[in-house]
Amino acid sequence: MKLVAGVLNITAGGKHVAIIDDDIAGLLGVHSSDRIRINFCEREIIAIANVATDFPHNRIWFYSELASVLKVQDGDEVDVHLAPMPESLNYVRAKLRGERLREKEIDRIVKDVVDRYLSDIEVSAFLTALKIYNLSMNETEALSRAMVDTGQSLDFGIGPILDKHSIGGIPGDKTSMIVVPIVAAAGYTIPKTSSRAITSPAGTADRVETLCSVNFELEEIREIVKKTNGCLVWGGALELAPADDLFIQVEYPLGIDPLLLPSIMSKKKAIGATHIAIDIPTGRGAKIKNLSEAYTLAADFVDLGKRLGVNVQCAMTFGDQPLGYCIGAGLEAKEALETLMGKGPQDVRDKAISLAGILFEMVGESNGRLKAEQILDSKKAELKMRQIIEAQGGNPNVKPEDIPIGPEHFVVRAKQKGRVMWINTDGIVQVARAAGTPKAKGSGILLKAKIGDEVEKDGVLFEIYAERASKLSSAAALAERLEPVVLSKKPDERMLLDMYPYKKELEEKSFNLDR
């Protein structure tokens, strides 16, 4: 059927979506969310149909992504037909029945996700089935390989290629900004591609962006790494395992994360990593609550690494409270820079040294922790970080105090004298996000007391920073309700952690999906 094109100057989040009138849809045999085949000037694309009522007849409207791919303009005539159901949908339905999928079936699903042949509803069904029935290791390997094969890859032509990754779960984890320059200063190659925050106050890319650019093409990354041995860049613009980003768009609203292993390992494989240190924060404040869970996950990472030809070492790290004292992109970048300059918190320093040491020992160095410590203390890591900042377009002479922090400020004080018994990391994250993180890079939280510290009545527990007064007001009110820093003044009170039904209104528990 011939229809006249109209172009909407709005996006559909990367999806290939077209809108047609319900009468036209009836003539085509199309229902909402069916696929339609569109031909224009020898170009063909499959799109998801949105069906609208009281819409102009003989017209088809394109969101900007689809119009750009087809190179179609207002008034152009296009040919539209009902497209057959994709083969991959049969495999999605098989997974919904609890069946194990074969490699070629998973390949087909991932390719159709990347090509936008599957709708959000169908991708949601697939991910929900994975959550319910779990992935076998064969399926996990197949997903990892398919996610690599459907995207771009980096080949630096040298080896080994080192990398470090945290599964996330605790706020304030700025260790990549310290590990990368330590490893690069030792002469090893460590091209770190990182995420932006999804549910946390800041991702590594958000932190680094307060110092320099993080948006680069693949060839630009090769040049940066050639100059400095390392980089700290945003992976979202590189089309490395692009299926993962599309899966995440659906996982987040569903509040599920069934693709943790293939998500992480596919991107590491795509960057060419040969040796990876995986940080698994473990504790009440983390995704992984106990060592038993951590060991199981670590074994799966190591097994998957062997199947993909990558050497993996996992580190179970303390996850009962935020790392360091700063939470939020600007504050965390400031704390990372201070640590490189020899002034940072001991827990940040210790974790970075430990992870860098693991990487050194993975490539044959003896006493890797000592080597990492010596590089940090000698200021070689600081110098290397400044070289990386310069190579990525930033000011190599930046000082911690140069990093802008929000001018709006609120102090949260203790209502009683006591010792800090617990820090509710979910509550801290909620308050930080209410203050404006991760978008407002000057917003965040500065902790003044951590677990075990004694605090006087009216003593400062933490400070909230925001770029706008309205955001500060919301964050302060939320902090008052949640009381995320828990004090105890008597030994017997320490036994009671919470109550149900609750004595006070609580926010819904946050879902953590940071990579």
Which residues carry out catalysis? 257
Q: Write the single-letter amino acid at 200.
A: S
Start-to-end CA distance of the chain, whole Å, equals 45
SS (H, E, C) 99-136: CCCCHHHHHHHHHHHHCCCCCHHHHHHHHHHHHHHCCC
Q: Cβ distance 109 to 129 under 8 Å?
A: no
Helix (H) or strand (E) holding 387: helix 380-391
d(CA 351, CA 436): 27
Q: Which of 47, 299, 288 is nearest to 168 (CA)?
A: 288
Task: Look up residue 171 and give its DSSP letter.
Answer: T
For residue 199, give the 3-state DSSP assignment: coil
Q: Is the dihedral of CA 211, 217, 220, 224 positive or negative?
A: positive
In terms of Cβ atoms closer than 10 Å to its own Cβ (0-12, 13-18, 19+), residue 131 is: middle
Q: Which of 464, 479, 465 is nearest to 430 (CA)?
A: 479
